[in-house]
């Protein structure tokens, strides 16, 4: 539901508003004002859920001593880069889903106070997968929408812009997508307009698009309506695929810095790229 509103603004402010209109993502002045208001309002009300409980077996020998999310880039753990980026976007309520060797993460972050955030830990007693870890944190998720982030992703993204995009699209889920030249090792995504039309997690032989799943989502709490309480260990990608079939997933294309630190080779590339 929308209502007509008449406001008076200075020319200098209107000029800045008009500068955001590109005719594609932001269609006109009215749309620009709504976009900027969403960007300002929603970040401080949004929780972030970071999945950092995986064992990181593919990252050995690096992960014999450290959880994957605690591997350093620029002398700082990947997870610390993420926490500070969220804080700078005004997102200060963070749930950390942790598992094996979680004491390393506890010791480094504590309650988050020295980082300017509030951290709540959700402990996994067994491997739950990305979907099971999110379900395990459900009772502590109070915001709608909320951010869901993979803790092994090194990214430079505008979280406020992402949240504003999600609110405007009004879909159940927004997936962040990254364009890559080499996509065969990642889940490939197809789109029509702003809507995700296909998700191919194992399309290694055929290149369906140059877009991959970046491991960052914005979701309404209504997503939990489709979670079976009897399931414990499962992947969130299966749930997302169901909503793609229902045409309820938007795609936010991020063309900036992004590394999925899933293998030693990927980790080494990330270290070299951000020196």
**Using one digit for the tens of pLDDT, what is the confidence trace for 82-112?**
999 999 999 999 999 998 778 889 999 999 9
- Residue 145 domain-assigned (yes or no): yes
pLDDT band for position 150 (50/70/90)?
very high
Residue 101 domain flag: yes
Give long-range contacts, CB 8 A cutoff, 24+ apart: 242-249: 243/172, 243/173, 244/196, 244/197, 244/198, 244/199, 246/172, 247/195, 248/171, 248/172, 248/173, 249/171, 249/172, 249/173, 249/174, 249/175, 249/195, 249/196
Domain count, the chain: 1
Residue 36, in any domain of the structure: no
Asked whether residue 187 carries a pLDDT value surpassing 80, the answer given is no
33: in domain: no
CA distances from 12 to 31, 41, 102, 126 (A): 18, 22, 50, 56
Q: Is the dihedral of CA 202, 204, 206, 207 positive or negative?
A: positive
- pLDDT reading at 137 higher than 90: yes
| Structural domain contains residue 91 | yes
Q: Which DSSP state fits 61?
A: T
Rounded to whole angstroms, the Cα distance separating 211 from 25 reads 18
Does residue 240 belong to any structural domain of this protein?
yes
Q: How many CA atoms within 13 Å lie on the side-chain side of 92?
A: 9
261 close to 267: Cβ distance less than 8 angstroms? yes
Averaged over 188-211, what is the pLDDT? 81
CATH code at position 197: 3.90.550.10
Domain annotation covers residue 199:
yes
The answer to whether 186 and 226 have CB atoms below 8 angstroms apart is no
Is beta strand 76-77 parallel, antiparallel or unpaired with respect to 249-253? unpaired
The answer to whether 175 touches 211, Cβ cutoff 8 Å, is: no
The parent domain of residue 237 ranges over 42-273
- The structure tokens listed for 107 are 């010791």
Is residue 2 in some structural domain? no
For the ranges 121-130, 193-202, 236-245, 266-275, the maximum mean pLDDT occurs at 236-245
Condensed to tens digits (0 to 9), the pLDDT of residues 14-71 reads 776 677 677 666 667 766 666 666 555 555 678 999 998 776 566 666 666 778 888 8
Work out whether strand 76-77 and strand 173-179 pair parallel, antiparallel, or are unpaired.
unpaired
Residue-averaged pLDDT of the chain: 84
């Amino acid at each position: 539901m929308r209502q007509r509103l008449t406001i008076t603004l200075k020319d200098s402010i209107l000029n800045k508003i008009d500068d955001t209109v590109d005719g594609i993502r932001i269609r006109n002045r009215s749309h620009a004002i709504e976009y900027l208001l969403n960007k300002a309002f929603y970040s401080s009300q949004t929780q972030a859920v970071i999945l950092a409980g995986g064992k990181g077996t593919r990252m050995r020998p690096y992960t014999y001593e450290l959880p994957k999310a605690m591997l350093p880039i620029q002398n700082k753990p990947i997870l610390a880069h993420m926490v500070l980026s969220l804080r700078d976007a005004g997102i200060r309520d963070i749930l950390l889903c942790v598992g094996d060797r979680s004491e390393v993460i506890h010791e480094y972050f504590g309650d988050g106070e020295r980082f300017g955030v509030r951290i709540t830990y959700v402990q996994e007693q067994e491997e739950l997968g990305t979907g099971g870890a999110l379900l395990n944190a459900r009772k502590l998720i109070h915001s709608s929408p909320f951010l869901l982030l993979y803790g092994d992703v090194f990214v430079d993204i505008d979280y406020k812009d992402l949240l504003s995009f999600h609110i405007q699209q009004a879909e159940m889920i927004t997936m962040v997508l990254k364009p890559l030249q080499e996509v065969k090792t990642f889940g490939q995504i197809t789109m029509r307009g702003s809507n995700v039309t296909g998700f191919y997690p194992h399309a290694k032989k055929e290149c369906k698009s140059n877009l991959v799943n970046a491991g960052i989502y914005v979701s309404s709490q209504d997503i939990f309506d489709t979670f079976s309480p009897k399931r414990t260990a499962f992947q969130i990608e299966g749930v997302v695929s169901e909503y793609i079939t229902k045409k309820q997933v938007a795609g936010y294309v991020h063309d900036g810095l992004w590394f999925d630190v899933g293998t030693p080779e990927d980790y080494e590339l990330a270290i070299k790229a951000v020196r």
